[in-house]
Amino acid sequence: MSKQETRQHVILNFDDSAGVPERALNLDLGAWQEMIRFGCKWKQFQQLEQYLQTHIPQSGELGCVLLGSGDYHHVSHALLKRLKTSEPVHLIVCDNHPDNMRYPFGIHCGSWVYWASCLTHIARIDVIGIGSNDISLKHAWENHWSPLYKGKLHYWSLCQNASWTKWIGAEKAWHSFNDPDVLISEFLNEISNINLPIYLSIDKDVLSKEVVMTNWDQGYFLEQHLQDVIRFNQRALIGADITGDVSAYHYTNRFKRFLSASDGQNEPTVAEIQAWQVHQQQLNQRLIESIDLAWK
């Protein structure tokens, strides 16, 4: 049995959106959906961490983890904390959003990158493919500045202006492009001299609507751009997760209803969800097959 086959892929199945790829462990977390989706208090998040500790393989045996909707991207932080490595880790995040936003109520899907930057074993973070105006001037104050000016976090954006970063001494943390091909080429050239194990986190809202549909605003990447990143990092991955599948959920918690509505999420129809999930799940399988060739 090859090393790739010994890694156990896992679906953290909060919302039945990601499908069940071949040889994957399907962990039913439907009972956690209301508590964890979009965001949660730290006490609740720690309860999930403890549950995962005994229900999924340890990091060296864990394959790609499917998280379902992008509303669960903060669960990546729990997976990063579980990494067993004596080396510093390079975190690469493919995402239409920086996920480095301020959130005073715990952790949520738009703040987890900041908390990842606080982990001592995470040496560098690159968020690539940002097309959201979350990094624009009017939202500058909502971004955590410290990981940017410390040089630990880098934004790689498309068609967005984050020139405000120079005012906080972080001009080298922002890389601006208008063409995704050029962004990928420059990014891969930049990291070619960084010889660290890699954790790859993919949110498919980084992709154009021509590729798949999500219920978040979407970016400009094509599937090939994700495949290029995976292929470039062959024999370097120590962990990976995929999110950005499409699902709908009606919160019983009024505060969560308000927060999700204020973030501009569009709720697709049942027919749209079913049609979009077919393409999403096919893409999941292709990405997992590529990731299986890239384990360290």
Give the model's confidence band at 253: pLDDT under 50 very low, under 70 low, under 90 confident, else very high. Answer: confident
Q: Is residue 296 part of a domain?
A: no
Q: Is residue 276 part of a domain?
A: yes
Q: Is residue 167 part of a domain?
A: yes
For position 45, what pLDDT does the model report?
Answer: 98
Model confidence pLDDT, tens digit, residues 132-145: 999 999 999 999 99
Q: Is residue 218 part of a domain?
A: yes
Q: Is residue 39 part of a domain?
A: yes
Give the model's confidence band at 3: pLDDT under 50 very low, under 70 low, under 90 confident, else very high. Answer: very low
Query: Structural domain of residue 272, as residue ranges?
Result: 3-291
User: What total number of domains does the chain contain?
Assistant: 1
Give the model's confidence band at 84: pLDDT under 50 very low, under 70 low, under 90 confident, else very high. Answer: confident
Q: Could you give the percent of the chain with pLDDT greater than 70? A: 96
Q: Is residue 125 part of a domain?
A: yes
Average pLDDT over residues 195-217: 96
Q: Is residue 285 part of a domain?
A: yes
203-222 as b/e: b if 16+ CB within 10 A: bbbbbbeebbbbbbbbbbbe
Q: Which CATH number does the domain housing residue 63 bear?
A: 3.40.800
For position 85, what pLDDT does the model report?
Answer: 87
The mean of the pLDDT values for the chain is 94
Q: Is residue 201 part of a domain?
A: yes
For position 265, what pLDDT does the model report?
Answer: 62
Whether the model clears a pTM of 0.75, i.e. scores above it, the answer is yes
